[in-house]
Amino acid sequence: KGKMGAREAERLIKEEGVKGFKFHPTVQGYHPYDRMAWPIYEVINAHKLPAIFHTGHSGIGSGMRCGGGLRLEYSNPMHLDDVAIDFPDMQIVMAHPSFPWQDEALSVATHKPNVWIDLSGWSPKYFPKQLVQYANTLLKDRVLFGSDYPLITPERWMKDFEAAGFKPEVMPGILKGNAVRLLGLA
C-alpha cells in the first residue's frame, strides 16, 4: 500500500521483465477493491499479466496480541469481484484455500473467467470438500498447484494431493497444464 505506483510497475515490466505481481491485502492493509490500487491494476491489465492476491486466513500475526493488528477481512476473496470486473485482462489468482471464505472464492472464480485459485499454503488433506469438487469439475481448468514451500514441502503436498480425491484426469492440469496456459508458456 503506497509503496509502488503505476509508474514503478510500468518500469518493472519494461526494464526488469516482471511477469506478474503479488498482493497481500491483510499485510498491506487495504481492500483489493480500493480505488487507490486502480492505477497499478490498470498497468497490469494493459500488459495482460497475472496478479496473485492472498486470500483467506493468514498465519502472519496468528496468536499475537490483537493478531498483530492485521485485519483478516481484507483478504476475503469476494473483494476481488469488482477487480475482476473492471480489469478483465488481468488474470487474478486467489492464493490459498480461502478459509473461512471458500464458498465465496469458488463463487467468484466460477463467475469470473479471469479468476483462478491456487492450492498453496495448506496440505490437500485439509481442503474443504467443495474445493475438491469444483477442482474436479467446473474449475478444473483454473486451479493451480502450489506448496508454499518451505512451510509445506512439495513431497508432502504431493502425497496428500494424491489421496485428497482429485480425479486423475484433472491432476495434470492442476499440477502443470493450467499454469502453462495462465503464464503463456505453451
Selected residue with higher pLDDT from 106 and 60:
106
Read off the pLDDT of residues 66-84 as tens digits, 9 standing for 90 and up: 888 888 899 999 999 999 9
Do 104 and 143 fall within a single domain? no
H helix intervals, 19-166? 25-28, 38-46, 81-86, 102-111, 129-136, 154-162
Do 50 and 70 lie in one domain? The reply is yes
Per the DSSP assignment, residues forming a β-bridge with 2 are none
Q: Which domain holds residue 148?
A: 119-186
Are 142 and 103 contained in the same domain?
A: no
Q: Is residue 23 part of a domain?
A: yes
pLDDT at 70: 87
Write the burial class of residue 115 (CB in 10 Å: 0-12 exposed, 13-18 middle, 19+ buried): buried
pLDDT tens string 23-54: 999 999 999 999 999 999 999 999 999 999 99
Residue whose C-alpha is closest to residue 93's, from 130, 144, 56: 144
Name the residue with higher pLDDT: 170 or 8: 170
CA distance 93 to 79: 13
Q: Do 101 and 126 fall within a single domain?
A: no
**Per-residue confidence band for 149, with pLDDT thresholds at 50, 70 and 90:** confident
- Per-residue cell: 8: 514503478
Mean pLDDT, rounded, of the chain? 93
pTM (global) more than 0.85:
yes
- 132 near 163, Cβ under 8 Å? no
For residues 51-64, average pLDDT: 88
Count of structural domains within the chain: 2
Taking residues 113-120, what's their average pLDDT? 96
Does the pLDDT of residue 2 top 60, yes or no?
Answer: no
Percent of the chain at pLDDT exceeding 70: 98
